[in-house]
Each structure stands twice: as C-alpha cells, then as structure tokens.
Amino acid sequence: MSLKGFTIKNHVYIPERVNPDSCFEKKYIDMRWLEKRMYGDEEVLHLPAISNEHPHYREWRLRQQSCCRLINYLQKKRQPLKILEVGCGNGWLSHQLSRMPGAEVIGADINFTELQQAARVFNTAPGLLFIYGDIRSEVFEHMQFDSIVFAASIQYFPSLTEIISNTIKLLKHQGEIHILDSHFYNPDTSVSAKKRTKEYYNHLGFPEMADHYFHHCLSDLKAFNFKILYKPFWGGNLFSHNNNPFIWVCIKKNIY
C-alpha cells in the first residue's frame, strides 16, 4: 500500500507542504507523560496487553474488550476490508485491525510524536501505514473505506454532526463508522461533565487543554442511520472488570 502526494519521514506519510504543529503537540505530549499515557516501544508492541501493575491496567482491559468485539464483528463480513482509524495515537488498534486477513489499514492522527512511534514499532506489519493529517482536510478526500473507526478519539472533535458528515463521505457503499471507548452524554449530564473536565485539566496544570475536549450527546446523531451495537450494564460498578461503560455506535452510509 503506497500513496502519492506524500513525503515519508520516520515511516510516517506526511502530505506535501504540510508541517506538523509542534507547539500544540508539545503541550499535549507533556500532559500525556504526566497522565502516564506515554508508553515505551515494547509496551506499545504488546498493547492492549499490559502489566497488571500499570496505573491504567483496568482501562486497557476495557479497550481489549472493545477491540475484540470490533474485530469479531468485522470478520463476519468475510471479505478483505480497507479501514481508517481516526486518532490512532501510538497505533496499537490499527495494528490489531491489520492482522485480519487481507485488511488494509491506515492510522491517522495529528500527534506526530506518537505517530512516529506507531510507524517505528509496527513498520513490518503488512497492509498497515500511518498518515499525519486532519481527517477533515483534503488529504483524505479521494480515499474510500469499508470501515472508519473512532476509538477514544471522537471527543477531540468540536462538532459530532460535522465530523460524521465529513467522514461518511469517505465510506464505500454500505460502509460503516464505528465509535468506541468514548462517553456520550445527555444535555443534563453534559454540564456537570464539562465542569469535571475543567477541574481535571486545571489539577494537571494544563487548563487550556479543556478547550480541546468536547462532550457529545447521542442525540447529535439523530440525522444519521445509526445503531448501538453494545450497551453497558448500568446496574453495577461502571469500571468493574466485566463491564465496559462505553456504548459502541455504528453509523452506516446507507439505510439499514
């Protein structure tokens, strides 16, 4: 799999005449280190498996569940798939998806630091490449995918309606968008959630990052043909080992 109109730096495809935004990224990476969400190459290689002593072990258990559900679902289509992961970060999920027979996977992000790590760690994986770029830009407008995945990334886009409207254009006939591992709110709970988000980033010492985190409501998807493929059990501890608190939303290009 190769692309025209791109330069390659450290195995990452970068659109010609585009320079990574190092100013915002430095703050973001500094914050990620503080949150203990930056990982060594060997750790990334084995994700979502991680030491049970790691502070985010339980979160990775949940993401492993989501990953397995998604792959099992996609494999039932019994055909090679072209997949885009938006906001792929260090590339662990893109790598897992690329292991499906015949799959071609692109991981995209505007976090150049983690993208370089993804490309470095998974550079021998067939059918997998990483692109620096905003999904809303012309970089992707001539590409078509069977599946587009937002895993723990949809909250970084200010308008849910806008990003889905733009992304759905990149789907093939009967293609699907999958949103995983992100919270959805209702209008009543979003107000308190925004307050908690500001308090969290203030506590970390990065108050400006609250302006880049958005609280979407499921009702924002009413204009699209969507289904909820997984709904959590709300009766117990949301972060127990056996209960994933995030819904799994599937949006199809054509009417079901």
Asked which of 149-153, 175-179, 188-192, 247-251 is least confident by mean pLDDT, the reply is 188-192
**Measured distance CA(93)–CA(70) in Å, rounded:** 10
Rg of the chain, C-alpha, whole Å? 18
CA–CA separation, 256 and 251 (whole Å):
10
User: What is the pTM (predicted TM-score) of this model?
Assistant: 0.92
Cis peptide bond upstream of 158, omega within 30? no
Least confident of 42-46, 200-204, 243-247: 243-247
For 80-135, how does the pLDDT look when each residue is reduced to its tens digit (9 = 90+)? 999 999 999 999 999 999 999 999 999 999 999 999 999 999 999 999 999 999 99
Helix axes 187-204, 22-34, angle to 10 degrees: 90
Instruction: For CA atoms 13, 64, 104, 151, give the dihedral sign.
Output: negative
Cα 11 to chain centroid distance, Å, stands at 20
CA distance 45 to 47: 6
Asked if residue 235 has pLDDT above 50, the reply is no
Domain ranges of the chain: 6-252
Separation in Å, CA 46 to CA 51, 64, 158: 10, 11, 32
Percent of the chain at pLDDT > 70 equals: 93
pLDDT at 41: 97
Contacts of 149 (CB under 8 A, 6+ apart): 70, 83, 84, 85, 86, 93, 97, 177, 178, 180
Instruction: Name the CATH superfamily for 6-252.
Output: Vaccinia Virus protein VP39 (3.40.50.150)
Between these two residues, 235 and 46, which has the higher pLDDT value? 46
